[in-house]
Amino acid sequence: MEAPDLQINYKWGQSLNYSEIRDYLQRESLVTIKDFPLNDDELQSFINHLGTPLNEKRNNNGKTVFDVKITQHNNFFTSIANSNLAFPLHTDCADFNSIPNTIGLLCVEAAHEDEGTNNFMLLTDLLKHLSEIEKQKLLNKKWKFRNQERSILSSENDNHKICYDRITMQSFSKLTPIEIEELNNLDKLFRSLSFKIKLKKGDLILFRNDVMLHGRDKIDINSQRLIKRIRFDIKLPSFAMPPDFEQ
């Protein structure tokens, strides 16, 4: 699929309007800031203006900026994010009590042209492709995400959200052959609705983690690709806003 026209581009140095950026994120746009400084403190303070960053206790000693690069320890990758493997479309922190609703990725070292490209899928595109029966099934059936039981789709005041991470779902529960086939079909559907964005050095991309899935293509094992990741929560309106809503 083509990248959607809800991609908003800014350039570092032009006066950035935080409430405007927040507003685009609330409306589920992807926001890119070109030529962002390649500096963790700058990234952290920028995100502090938009929302509340999550401290990464699991892999990152409680810091908020996480280095996504190939990292091995005793010949094992330290996480899938730190491997060279393709990462299928997923939600970050699908097994957390509270899932951060937004992610920022700052490209410090770009991958080569044919590797490590980011993939995205919008929930709005998925909803257009699901029949009412398929939608109800995804709203009702609970799956195990480590210690959490969650449905893939949820809905509050007619606002839908998605939570999906095949690797976590499959790692912590024994799925039946029918369930595996169900997930294979979903993965195939998600892929068919996804679009690619190639990050360049200095691109900071901000996107919602609760209304889109993201992933990335395989990376060369010797790649110097380095992405700084920060997860955060922006305040969301408690009701659905039409696109031309004015406050």
> Which residues make up the interface to Fe ion (CB under 5 A)?
92
**Is the CB of 11 or the CB of 58 nearer to Fe ion?**
58
Q: How many C-beta atoms surround the C-beta of residue 82 within 10 A?
A: 18
Report, in Å, the least distance between residue 3 CB and Fe ion: 18
Report, in Å, the least distance between residue 81 CB and Fe ion: 6
The distance from CA 101 to its chain's CA centroid, rounded to whole angstroms, is 9
Report, in Å, the least distance between residue 236 CB and Fe ion: 20
Residue 130 corresponds to which tokens in the numbers above?
């699901």
End-to-end CA distance of the chain: 33
Residue nearest to Fe ion (CB): 92
Helices 40-50, 18-26: axis angle to 10 degrees equals 70
**Is the CB of 86 or the CB of 241 nearer to Fe ion?**
86
**Is the CB of 92 or the CB of 95 nearer to Fe ion?**
92
Q: Which of 6, 4, 137, 165 shows the shortest CA–CA distance to 79?
A: 165
30-34 and 76-77 strand pairing: unpaired
**Is the CB of 32 or the CB of 82 nearer to Fe ion?**
82
**Is the CB of 85 or the CB of 241 nearer to Fe ion?**
85
Q: Which of 153, 40, 164, 159 shows the shortest CA–CA distance to 104?
A: 40
CA distances (Å), 86 to each of 78, 81, 167, in order? Answer: 15, 9, 12
- 165 and 145 in contact (C-beta within 8 Å)? yes
Report, in Å, the least distance between residue 42 CB and Fe ion: 22
Report, in Å, the least distance between residue 131 CB and Fe ion: 28
Rg (CA), the chain: 18
**Is the CB of 51 or the CB of 88 nearer to Fe ion?**
88
- 46 and 71 in contact (C-beta within 8 Å)? no
Report, in Å, the least distance between residue 76 CB and Fe ion: 19
